[in-house]
Structure 1
Amino acid sequence: MLNSIAGSLVELPVHWGTDDWPPFAQYDEIGYMMPVAGPSRGLEGFWEEFEAQFEAGELWLAIWHPFLTERLAR
């Protein structure tokens, strides 16, 4: 169940630096084939973004696609 405030909608900004698509996606159908890397390698960018945002006192918002990062390690 989602909690909501009647009549209010908030959209939070996102950035490719906190999206799991660039380091983990492989879709030959659309010509997007990134080199396969281990999860720790792919998550390096996430940690760098998190540390920078934390140090600046800013919001860190990650984008996780269930079909990319919510599966067993390769």
Structure 2
Amino acid sequence: MNTPLLERITFNPKQCGGKPCIRSMRIRVTDVIELLAAGLTPDQIVTEELPDLELEDVTACLLYAAAKRNHPVLQAA
């Protein structure tokens, strides 16, 4: 899946242990996913919890997580 939204997800081995972050900030994709799992809405995340984010960042996190979970599984014959 190649979408411009996924370009918001960045990797830097010197930042957050190389974990995927949002737009080179020290906000990890997992931080956003955990907030969503805790019941916060995307609007709450960007207005109350992580005001440096944009709604598109939250969508990018979801797309990234979905792409990672949907990887092909190879089985030995």
Same-fold call, TM > 0.5? Answer: no
Report which of the two structures shows the higher radius of gyration computed on alpha carbons.
1
Q: Which has the higher contact order (CA 8 A, sep 6+)?
A: 1
TM-score range, shorter chain: 0.3 to 0.5
- Using the size of structure 2 for normalisation, the TM-score is 0.31
